Structure formats: C-alpha cells, structure tokens
Amino acid sequence: MKAIQVVTPGKIEIIEKEMPGINRGDEVLIQVRLVGICGSDMHIYHGTSPVATYPRVIGHEMVGEIAEIGSDVKRLAVGDKVVMEPIQWCGTCYACRSGRKNVCTQLEVYGVHKDGAYQEYIVLPEKIVHKVDSRLDWHEAVLVEPFTIGAQANWRGDVKAGDFVFIMGAGPIGLCALQVAKIKGAVCMISDLSDDKLDYARSLGADYVLNPLKDNINVEIERITDGVGPNVTIDAVCTVKTFEQAVEMTSVAGRVVVLGFSDAPSQIAQFHITKKELTVVGSRLQSDKFAEVIEWFNSGNMKVNSFVTHRFALEDIHQAIKLIETSPNEVRKVVLEVGGMQK
C-alpha cells in the first residue's frame, strides 16, 4: 500500500509499505479515506518540530472506514465511519491521573512519534477510534480532530457565556477556536493580516474582525471592551510578540492561552501577570474532547461545509505542499484523498 513518509527534514516521499494487520483483540483496521494537512505536519517536513522523530509517516487529521475488527472490540463495527484520537498515553502518571492524558509523561502522538495516517490503511486500538454519524460528509468529518484542538483551547481558557474572547490568528486553529467560543456564548474578536480570512471568520460568527495592517489593535479592543480588555486571549499566531501582546492586553482576572511550540524566549514583565492576576496556560492537543466535538458535528452546530478549500490525491502531496507554502491566504484546509487497498 502507499504511504507518505518524511524521510528526513525537507525530504518527503511516497513509499510502498506492507499493509498492516490486526495483532491484538482490541485493535481495528481502518481504510483511510481523507487526511487533513496540519501545520504540525509542515513543521515536521521542514524540520522545525521539536518533538518529531524520523523517518516518519505523518498525518493525524483522519477519517476512514472500519475494514476489520479484533475479537475484543465492542463499540465499533465493520463499515463504521470513524476518526482517530491521535495520542497514546500511559494512564498512570500524574498528568493521566489528573485527566490530562494529552501531556502524559510517556505521550506518543501518531504522525509525530508513531507512524500516522498518510497511508491507505492503519491499525489502531479501539479506545482511540471514535464513530461519527454516517450522514456526515467525509470532508466534514475529517475536521473533527482540528476542532478538538479549538475545544481544548477554550477549555484551558475557561471560556464562558458573555466573555470577551480575542483570538489572534484566523488560520485553521483560530477558526476552530472561534466556533467553539461562539457555541459557548462568548463575544469574539479575531485578528489576521488577511482580509479574506477575516471575511470568512465573520461568516462563522466573529463579532469583530481586526487587521493589524489597518487597525490599531489595542485601541480597537479597548473600545470594544469599554477599556477592560479581553477576558480570554487565545494566541493562535504563536510568535514571541503575540505572546507578549496577549499578556499585556488581557483583562484583570483574565486568561491567556498559548498554543505555540517555539523555544524562543519572550520578554514579559511579572508586573502584568501579578497585578492583573492573570492565568497563563498552554494548550496542547486535547484531552477527552472528541465526544463533545463529535456531538457538535453530528447535530450540525459546526459550520464546516466550506472549511476544506483544496483536495489532492495522496500521490499529489508535493503539489499540496507547494500550494500551502506559496498561497497561504487561499488555503483554509487542504486534504488528501486516499485510494483503496493495493492488491
């Protein structure tokens, strides 16, 4: 069967590998239908991921169909439309015991530490495979995993109805965080350098859109919030500067949510954090968010039918990467359409 492997940073190849088989009773064999290209996949390709190992079959935003089940599988059946929760955890460390398996001390992420879903078939344990409504379009269901990232960011920021939430960046994760915040009843502001992305954010329910090239962000947010500042700031741009700005502008008793993986240090005075008694938190992956997000998808509460902007065959991965790198303002989500089993 075909798979996409990042051999070394900057070198990605379409390889042939043996089709996997079920080895344990709790495993399922999934025929992969669609896989989304995530920013973290691009970081692995470019060698800028601080956690990836090589060579690696990448990909974790997957939807597929159950092709075979192990003898102990109870929740799933052949033919089910499913998505993958792309993490493995130990269940015994402090993080796991605290309900934070996403930062398990022995965490392994599919597509990062373990081979992921850029392949025609994949075998996974039942516990990380989640069924979605068969009526969901494949190109909608493939978005479940990115929306769990948005749900996690909202949970970490303790977003509540009536909160003013400022989302920095209208890329895929910023847009996912926006929709979750709106479901929770927040007033949402979102910024980006692209007016096209801001227009799309507005169509998803953003109450205010801001372009730093045209708007004085601090002045506008102060006006919108009557001088208080956002109660929650979600930094989906993930630069040193945006992190500093988030801490400076967030309201008293507010929450700052950081999603970046950069190891570049920021210059943040303790004064801003202590005086306002800010809560500054990281948000990584997700912990137990799949059931909630899948319910939103199944019930039609998520506006996702226009989220996927480009589709490529698995074999056209190089063209897909080129599009993402050369036309970022045209792209919301690029997906790879995966073929069937090779005989």
Residue 313 lies in a domain: yes
Give the chain as a 3 state SS string.
CEEEEEEECCEEEEEECCCCCCCCCCEEEEEEEEEECCHHHHHHHHCCCCCCCCCEECCCEEEEEEEEECCCCCCCCCCCEEEECCEECCCCCHHHHCCCHHHCCCCEEECCCECCCCECEEEEEHHHEEECCCCCCHHHHCCHHHHHHHHHHHHHCCCCCCCEEEEECCCHHHHHHHHHHHHCCCEEEEECCCHHHHHHHHHCCCCEEECCCCCCHHHHHHHHCCCCCCCEEEECCCCHHHHHHHHHHCCCCCEEEECCCCCCCCCCCHHHHHHHCCEEEECCCCCCCHHHHHHHHHHCCCCCCCCEEEEEEHHHHHHHHHHHHHCHHHCCEEEEECCCCCC
Q: Residue 343's pLDDT is what?
A: 31
The answer to whether residue 287 is domain-embedded is no
Task: Identify the pLDDT of residue 262.
Answer: 87
- pTM score, two decimals? 0.96
Is the same domain home to 264 and 183? Answer: yes
| Per-residue confidence (pLDDT) for residue 263, from 0 to 100 | 86
State the CATH number of the domain containing residue 198. 3.40.50.720
pLDDT of residue 341: 34
Residue 7 and residue 139 in one domain: yes
113 and 207, same domain (yes or no):
no
* One domain for residues 139 and 171: no
pLDDT at 342: 38
Return averaged pLDDT per consecutive 10 residues of the chain, 343 residues in all: 97 97 98 97 95 97 98 98 98 98 98 98 98 97 98 98 98 97 98 97 98 97 98 97 97 97 91 97 98 97 94 97 94 88 34
Per-residue model confidence (pLDDT) at position 252: 98
Shared domain for 75 and 186, answered yes or no, is: no
Q: What per-residue confidence (pLDDT) applies to 64?
A: 98
- Residue 15 covered by a domain: yes
Q: Note down the domain range covering 80.
A: 2-143+304-337
Q: Are residues 271 and 172 in the same domain?
A: yes
Q: Are residues 15 and 124 in the same domain?
A: yes
Whether 131 and 195 map to the same domain: the answer is no
